[in-house]
Amino acid sequence: MNKKTVRDIDVAGKRVFLRVDYNVQFDNGQILDDYRLRESIPTLEYLIEQGAKTILCAHRGRPGGKVVEELRNEPVAKHLATLIGREVKWVTDCVGPEVEAAVAAMQPGDLLLLENVRFYPGEEANDPQFAKQLASLADVFVSDAFGTAHRAHASVVGVGYYLPAVSGLLMERELEYLGRVATDGEQPFAVILGGAKVADKLAILKNLVDRASLICVGGGIANTFLRAQGIDVGASLFEADRIQDAYDVMRLASSRNDLRLLMPTDVVIADAAGTRINTVSVHRIPPGFRILDLGRRTLEDMREALAPMKTVVWNGPVGFFEREPFDRGSIEVARMLADLVGATTVVGGGETAAAVAKAGVAHLLSHVSTGGGASLEMLQGVTLPGVEILRDK
Ligand code: ADP
Ligand code: MG
């Protein structure tokens, strides 16, 4: 994408306002998943090397414009310090005298994390006054908060009206990979769609279908597609008002010789109690049973169909992966992508990234996005406000 990056400007000795997405969860003081923190480290190291004074700005959760003790950034600063192996100072405000003093005391190479920026109502309101106050702390604005780039908030967009705005190295990677598959991508091109809501996924399909030669459907949304084929899905959830949309996709695929739609032919099902688990043909789902994962034969067909692909985009787990043994299908799909040597493999979506992490193959894929909603919008072809604000090359 055609946006200036932190490499295109001089940051030596400068105060850099670095917006990051450190929206991570803790359980009993233990961080649950630090992928977003780890992915931000190349930018931090670059800024340190250049002798910048880096003021990190981040949010956690939805405090709704007021202080929520459990959502403070202090544990984030501490965890980041262990990851990067150097001191990360933090303050309990984002603006005001305490923060100004901390910034004034910074030396080149220092890192300072501000408090949860969503403690301020001006953040989500994109209040110009608040944005200006944040901007006054620094000389340049570097955005690495891809996961928040679909939100027109003060620290994501507003600060860019007062300071020169460029992308960080993580943002650059996100835009490169998601931008490539959203608009281009080497042929043949495959899309794997799973997850929960048909409408979200259809919007992605709408943007990608013209360039796709293979569409694999799994997960909760496949139930609606199976219904559109007239199949009885037992007690599985499906969206009655989306059956027509699913049918339209099926009709489009059958009218195009160069497009294959791969639907589940066998599935893993369970009864309401989740104790009786079985793999059956989609034509043999007993009443009261729910579809919770793809079956072995469907997965084998998928692996074979994906083999010649040069670009693969995956959004949406193909099963109820949070619960064993229904994680097997999604883990297998992650492995299929990992085995596609020479192809560009891109994963978007919060839960899909979690499934890839569970499979332990994130490092074998071209790109696993740190953005949930933001990656979906990119794949749908939407221009994100937090990207638009960045300077063009
Ligand atoms: P992402 O966050 O990656 O965009 P979604 O939010 O669309 O993904 O969907 C993720 C959810 O879909 C997961 O919580 C997963 O358990 C659920 N899911 C997938 N397949 C099924 C299924 N067959 N039955 C019930 N839930 C499913
Ligand atoms: Mg989700």
Q: How far apart are CA 134 and CA 164, in angstroms?
A: 13
**Amino acid letter, 170:** L
pTM of this structure: 0.94
CB 95 within 8 A of CB 138: no
Q: Which of 14, 86, 197, 335 is catalytic?
A: 197
Nearest CA to 54 out of 66, 40, 36, 65 is that of: 40
Is any atom of ligand 1 closer than 6 Å to the C-beta of 348?
no
Q: Is 36 a catalytic residue?
A: yes
CB 145 within 8 A of CB 156: yes
Q: Is 373 a catalytic residue?
A: yes
What pLDDT is attached to residue 162? 98
Is any atom of ligand 1 closer than 6 Å to the C-beta of 168?
no
Residue count of the chain: 393
Is any atom of ligand 1 closer than 6 Å to the C-beta of 49?
no
Q: How far apart are CA 363 and CA 231, in angstroms?
A: 38
What pLDDT is attached to residue 138? 98
* Cα–Cα separations (whole angstroms), residue 171 to 142, 166, 255, 318, 387: 9, 9, 38, 27, 9
Nearest CA to 281 out of 269, 292, 271 is that of: 269
Question: Which ligand number lies closest to the CA of residue 315?
Answer: 1
CB 17 within 8 A of CB 55: yes
Q: What is the DSSP letter of 142?
A: E
Residues lower than pLDDT 70 in the chain: 1
Q: How far apart are CA 225 and CA 368, in angstroms?
A: 27
Strands 214-217 and 53-57: unpaired
What pLDDT is attached to residue 340? 97
CB atoms within 10 A of CB 108: 15
CB 194 within 8 A of CB 220: yes
Q: Give the helix, strand, coil percentages of the chain, each rounded to 5.
A: 40, 15, 40
Is any atom of ligand 1 closer than 6 Å to the C-beta of 371?
no
Q: Which of 36, 60, 118, 227 is catalytic?
A: 36
Whole-number Å distance, alpha carbon 221 to ligand 1 midpoint, is: 8
Whole-number Å distance, alpha carbon 369 to ligand 2 midpoint, is: 13
Q: How far apart are CA 354 and CA 301, in angstroms?
A: 24
What pLDDT is attached to residue 302? 98
What pLDDT is attached to residue 199? 87
